[in-house]
Chains A and B, each alone.
Chain A
Amino acid sequence: MGYKASFKVWRGDDKDGGLHDFLVEVNEGEVVLDIIHRLQATQAPDLAVRWNCKAGKCGSCSAEINGRPRLLCMTRMSTFTEDETITVTPMRTFPVIKDLVTDVSFNYQKAREIPSFAPPPGVQPGDYRMQQVDVERSQEFRKCIECFLCQNTCHVVRDHEENKQNFAGPRFLMRVAELEMHPLDAEDRVSAAQEAHGLGMCNITKCCTEVCPEHIKITDNALIPLKERVADRKYDPLFAVASLFRRKR
């Protein structure tokens, strides 16, 4: 049943800020986002937090709970003991706007740098034919809710501002893989992955996979296969010619 929990919530803006202590009621079945909402309603009406669906579907409520990147709406209070102090801080890799809200525009920039789906020439709408087994690979990546927790976690950009320019991050490298594996996409994406989007900087630590709330196997199913395609091409001088004739799988 109900008890009072100790919370430390980071409050502040782009200039300064720090952890604030709160003692707040917790009821059965609640998630951390419920507690943040209770703080807004009772103690801190201007506490800033993003959320929409409250069901792990929209990817708005990303933050760090006791230092771990998580969705606030999918972190149940029952995973903590009653005497544990729970610390909630904004995602670290992105600039803070206010309290738990960060500036995630980096991700929208990266999204724009990935060339879009290229429809197969000559195939009319309604005539697309694909087998379930062939779409499933890309479908796994399209489960992504763009919470950007993987982007926040990847050590290539976490605490390395200087790498942001040349590295698309796991979410958008996965987007390249998704299009590359799309049965009907008409574009070749392999060399750009390496050169323009920074696939080479990924050293397959799998930290991105660990935090993904959608349990997408980002590293194993997207990044490593993409790296393999890059490698194939590098060591095969005939590939450039062959690929002109190759039909996409």
Chain B
Amino acid sequence: MLGTGIIKGMVETARNFVGSYHDPERLTTVQYPEERLAPKENGRSFPFLVFDGNDQQAGLRCVACQICEKECPPQCIYINKSKDKKPDYVGKLQFYPATFDIDISVCMSCQICVEVCPFEAIKMDQVFELSTSDRFGKLLLHKPQLAKPNEYFHQLHPTDANEVDARLGEEKRKAEAKAAAAAAAAAAKLAAPKPAPDEPTKAT
């Protein structure tokens, strides 16, 4: 009969109306500034630079190779390479960025810079409360604002960070082993006695 559908619907909406008052479970809204959801591991907003240890200048992983600057689709990364060098995590001397700026008013959070960086130096942050009163100056983030410790990276993306740490640790161990082997070889070379005159004949 005409109208039964409307009555059914009215009953349903009335149930919602009353139910939402005595059963707060029905309300899905998270009232943001007071309540907030736990961040998701895969969430991402803008990039930041990772450093190891406590000193953000000494520990910065970025070697100013400028790959990310070239790859960034909207071209919002600005890097100036240093004149001198500093040791990286394996102890090898590398350049470092004298300045490293990201214009987050342009950045589109595509994560391409993260994908292309060969040094695990740039990662995606999750901060989103970035509104400021100055849309030019304050949205251009500089190196001191961008550099964040490895522990922070661990907090945001634990899986990713552990995997990166394992790989870097492995590389470092290999490099150290290699260095140790090289050192041992050099030492052995130094320590070894002059080859006896009959030895080459043995080889032949």
- B partners with A: no
Residues of B within 8 A of A (CB): none
